[in-house]
Amino acid sequence: MIIKNIVDLPLHGGKCPSWLFEKMVRLSRSILLLVYREFGSKELIKRLTDPFWFQALGCLLGFDWHSSGLTTTVGGAIKEALKPYFKELGIYICGGKGKKALKTPEEIIYWGEKEALPQKAEKFLTLSRLTARIDNNAIQDGFQLYFHLFIFSKDGYWGVVQQGMDEKTCYARRYHWYSEKIINLCKEPHTGIVSCIRKKEVLNLVASESEPAQVSIINLLREDFSKILKELTPKTYLIFKKDHYLNPQDFSYQSLKKIWEKTYQNLPSEFKDLLLIPGIGAKALRALTLTSELIYNVKASRKDPVIYSYAHGGKDGQPYKLNKNLYNTTIQELEEILQKLKLADFTKIEYFRKLYKLFNY
C-alpha cells in the first residue's frame, strides 16, 4: 500500500539558530527512540512520513509552524539525531537539502554496503529516483524539488519526504511517501493531501484517472514516428486557449523526434520505466501526453492533488515566544524515561502515561 500526502508552506527568510537546532536534535532523538522502542521501525518510518505527524513534530521542536524551513530543518535534525543509532535501529536516513539531496544515491549505496544489503540498496536507489521524478515530472504543479529525504530499514520498509519550490508564489510544497509493500507507484491516487493552495490546472500523470493516458503513452512510443507526425499534421488549424497548460510548442517536431530517439533502442514496457529514462523530463511528458490524448482519445488528470500544531512556542515568536525552560524540561524528562527504559526499572506504559503531564501548564 502506498500512502502519499502533500503540504504547502510559505517561504520564510533567516535560518535556525545553532542553539535551537542542537535542542531540536536532542528532543527529536528522545521522541524518535521512544517511538522505535515502543512500536518498532515500521511505525517510526510511518510516522516520519505522515504529513500531520511530521508537521506536529516540527511545531513541538519549536520551529516555524507554517514555513518551508520546517521541512528542511526538521529533516536535518532527525537525520542528525538518529545517525549514531542507524546500525542499532536498522533505520537509515539519506539525503537532505540542495547538494545533500544529490548525494542521496551514494548514501543509500554506502549504508547498503556497510550493512550488507546490496540488493535492497539497489531497490531503494530506484525508488528514490522514481519518487523524485514522479513529483518533479509526472506531477506538473509548478514546484521544483530541492529537498529529498529517503528513509529505509533493514526490514524493507521505506518512506520519502521531499519538497519543491514555486518561485512565482514563493510557496513550497512538501510530498510524503510511505510504503508497506511495493506496488505500482504510478497508479496510486493521492490521499490525505494538505494544502492552502489549490491550482486550477495541474497535469497529474499518476492519478488513477490518468491510467489510460499512461498506457497510451507507452503504446505511442512503439509506433513509427513518421506515422505519428502525419497524424499530428492537421487538415484544419488547431486553436489553443492562451492559458492552456499544454501549448502548441509541445508539438515541436524536433522535441518529439528527440523523445523517440531516446526511447527507440530501449522501449519502456511500463510507465515507471519511461520516467526513469535519462532526459525524459517534464517537457517530454507534456508532449507525449498531449499527443496521446489527440491520437488515442484519452484524458490525463488535470486536478491538483491537494488537505497544521504547538508545544514550546516558535522560533520567530509565533504563536508565542519559545519557552526555553519548558523545552529543557521536556528533553530532560524524555531522556530520563529512555534511560529508565534501558534499565527496565518500570514498565513502558507507566512512563508514557506520565508524558501528558509535561504540557499541563
User: What residue numbers bound the domain in which 122 lies?
Assistant: 2-200
pLDDT at 214 over 70: yes
Please check whether residue 69 lies inside any domain of the structure.
Answer: yes
Rounded distance between C-alpha atoms, residue 280 and residue 288, angstroms: 10
Please check whether residue 119 lies inside any domain of the structure.
Answer: yes
Q: Are 96 and 79 in contact (CB under 8 A)?
A: yes
Instruction: Give the model's pLDDT for residue 227.
Output: 81
Say whether both 99 and 173 belong to one domain: yes
Q: Are 105 and 126 in contact (CB under 8 A)?
A: no
Please check whether residue 247 lies inside any domain of the structure.
Answer: yes
**Structure-block grid coordinates of residue 20:** 535551537
Say whether both 185 and 105 belong to one domain: yes
pTM for this structure?
0.78
Say whether both 165 and 282 belong to one domain: no
Instruction: Give the model's pLDDT for residue 325.
Output: 76
Please check whether residue 114 lies inside any domain of the structure.
Answer: yes
Domain-ending residue, one of 200, 217, 232 = 200
Please check whether residue 98 lies inside any domain of the structure.
Answer: yes
Say whether both 129 and 274 belong to one domain: no
Say whether both 86 and 161 belong to one domain: yes
**Structure-block grid coordinates of residue 11:** 517561504
Domain-ending residue, one of 236, 266, 296 = 296
**What is the tens place of the pLDDT at every residue in 76-132?**
999 999 999 999 999 999 999 999 999 999 999 999 999 988 889 999 999 999 999
pLDDT at 308 over 50: no
Instruction: Give the model's pLDDT for residue 315.
Output: 56
**What is the tens place of the pLDDT at every residue in 222-245?**
988 888 877 776 554 444 444 444
Instruction: Give the model's pLDDT for residue 185.
Output: 83
**Structure-block grid coordinates of residue 21:** 537546532
Domain-ending residue, one of 240, 275, 296 = 296
Strand ranges in 64-106 using DSSP code E only, listed in sequence order = 91-97
Say whether both 213 and 175 belong to one domain: no
Say whether both 25 and 131 belong to one domain: yes
pLDDT at 35 over 70: yes
**What is the tens place of the pLDDT at every residue in 266-281?**
889 999 999 999 989 9
Please check whether residue 143 lies inside any domain of the structure.
Answer: yes
- The domain total for the chain is 2
Say whether both 226 and 121 belong to one domain: no
Say whether both 182 and 120 belong to one domain: yes
Rounded distance between C-alpha atoms, residue 358 and residue 1, angstroms: 36
pLDDT at 355 over 70: no
